[in-house]
Amino acid sequence: MRVLLISTYELGRQPVHVASPAARLARSGHQVSTLDLAVESLTPGILADVDAVAISVPMHTAMRLAVSTSTIIRDVEPDLPIAFYGLYAGVGQAHTLGGAADRLIAGEYEAGLDAWVASLSGGVSADTGITSFLPPIRSTLPPLSSYARLEWEGEVRVVGAVEASHGCRHRCRHCPIPVVYDGRWRAVGQEVVLADIAAQVAAGAEHITFADPDFLNAPRYSMGLLKEAHAAHPDLSFDVTVKVSHLLQHRKIVAEMARSGVLFIVSAFESVHEPTLEILAKNHTVADMVDAIDLVRGTGAHLRPTWLPFLPWTEVADVVSLIDFLDAHLLWEATDPVQLAIKLLIPEGSLLESHPAVLPHLTGYRPEALGWDWQFADPAAGALQEKLSGIAEESSNCGAEAAETLASMAGVIAAATGRTEPRLSSGPGVPRLSESWFCCAEPTSAQTISLSATSVTVPALDS
């Protein structure tokens, strides 16, 4: 079978969720081609030589774009089988299955994807269950230089990305992962990840993002992997994502990560409103966040917190408290503008959709948005979110400097509250990736997909 694997969006990274199944399908004897719509175009010529299309949907933005992509494909090749696979594949299935997609494969998708492709030709996959992973095949994807870069101390570094694990041991209520994995976790395997890192270094990577939902779900496994990678590539830097509670639980490991090349740590702080942290089941407090800031900075690594500032019960005063926190703890340089504009997404099946704090605010399910609409208890907070979201999207689309965008957003917040603009205190310089959009943000207008008149050559990957 000739299979086209498509990625619509993977946070500015070369998509591992295309490269990994490409290896699995190639091993099964299929001819695999790939297309990353974040940096390439979908054209009719690409579709003419394939028997099936599978679209990766690891996050909300990717799923929304996948539905649009499928519509374009159906217009050109109405009989071409299409599957959605990945974390978000099951979201909105009453709206997508039988229309946008013929098959939905959520969670651990590789065996299911292999079986689906085999079934299209009347065959049976040789692997009928969850088997070990293979080193991803990235040769058909655009080069790493086409993707987000690391910007740090006047330097720009080429970035690669790997996943050492899938799933998460925790059940944060706003996160889509517990809906699919229910507290389960699965290791990709040290040899596979190290081989993938080595291949990306050979392709020019100078920095590697560990894209795991939480790098310290299994500290011994993760740290063994990190140390091996650092020993093999001592000039390589890394970034990881870790929960606040894990940072504080594994203080010595945080220092060890810094010594092993971890340049910065992403951590989902979410809010400085204590009741919100409880509703979201974050398992940390604002005091814990302050402790985590001091801990990470004390190791010489940098912290980049992520935020969820707008929820149904958010008041304008809560947003002011957040920017005061950024100012007090010198976090402005660690903040991407979109983080100040993110509004809670409640997809189908979310652990929040029946929560007592959320229910009174729901106004109905909107299939095209793949989630529930809700209203702010404080209309002024809703108006503020719309203004901030517009600024964040405009700056993302035109490539504006983060500092300028944050200043504009701070001015809007000050105008909405009648307060003096915050100081935007300058803290220690913080490394950042040039792709600032976020998996939990709505897609931007610039992320819409259209068919190009120019043919794109997609090299085939033989088995």
355 and 420 together in one domain: yes
- What does the pLDDT profile of the chain (463 residues) look like in tens digits? 999 999 999 999 999 999 999 999 999 999 999 999 999 998 878 998 899 999 999 999 899 999 999 999 999 999 999 999 999 999 989 889 999 999 999 999 999 999 999 999 887 665 555 568 999 999 999 999 999 999 998 899 999 999 999 999 898 999 889 889 988 999 999 999 999 999 999 999 999 999 999 999 999 999 999 999 999 999 999 999 999 999 999 999 999 999 999 999 999 999 999 999 999 999 999 999 999 999 999 999 999 999 999 999 999 999 999 999 998 999 999 999 999 999 999 998 899 999 999 999 999 999 888 899 999 999 999 999 999 999 988 887 666 688 888 989 988 998 888 777 766 766 668 899 988 655 455 555 554 443 333 333 434 444 3
Residues listed for the chain = 463
Q: Are residues 83 and 114 in the same domain?
A: yes
Let me know whether 115 and 150 are in one domain: no
Domain assignment present for residue 448? The answer is: no
pLDDT score, position 397: 65
Count the helices and strands in the chain (H runs, E runs): 15, 16
Spatial neighbors of 361 by CB under 8 A, at least 6 apart, are 312, 313, 374, 375, 376, 377
Same domain, 110 and 196: no
Q: Do residues 115 and 147 share a domain?
A: no
Q: Confirm if 67 and 93 have CB atoms less than 8 A apart.
A: no
DSSP 192-231: HHHHHHHHHHHTT-SEEEE--S-TTSSHHHHHHHHHHHHH
Residue 235 CB-density burial (10 A; 0-12 exposed, 13-18 middle, 19+ buried): exposed
pLDDT at res. 33: 96
Per-residue model confidence (pLDDT) at position 346: 94
* Collapsed DSSP state (helix, strand, coil) of residue 190: helix
pLDDT at 456: 38
So what's the pLDDT on residue 454? 34
Q: Does some domain include residue 67? A: yes
pLDDT of residue 453: 34
**For residue 457, is it within any domain?**
no
SS (H, E, C) 56-86: ECCCHHHHHHHHHHHHHHHHHCCCCCEEEEE
| 178 shares a domain with 84 | no
Q: Strand order of the sheet with strand 31-36?
A: 31-36, 2-7, 52-56, 82-86, 103-106
Whether 149 and 253 map to the same domain: the answer is yes
In a domain, 285, yes or no: no
Which of 390, 387, 362 has the alpha carbon at shortest distance from 374? 362
Q: Is residue 286 in a domain?
A: no
Do 34 and 90 fall within a single domain? Answer: yes
Domain annotation covers residue 318? yes
Domains contained in the chain, number:
3
The whole-model pTM stands at 0.91
Nearest by Cα to 256 from 191, 209, 313, 301: 301
138 within domain boundaries: no
Residues in CB range of 109: below 8 A, 6 or more apart: 21, 85, 86, 89
Q: What range defines the domain where residue 327 resides?
A: 308-433
Q: Where are the beta strands (DSSP E) in 271-381?
A: 302-307, 362-366, 371-374
Q: Is 327 part of a structural domain of the chain?
A: yes
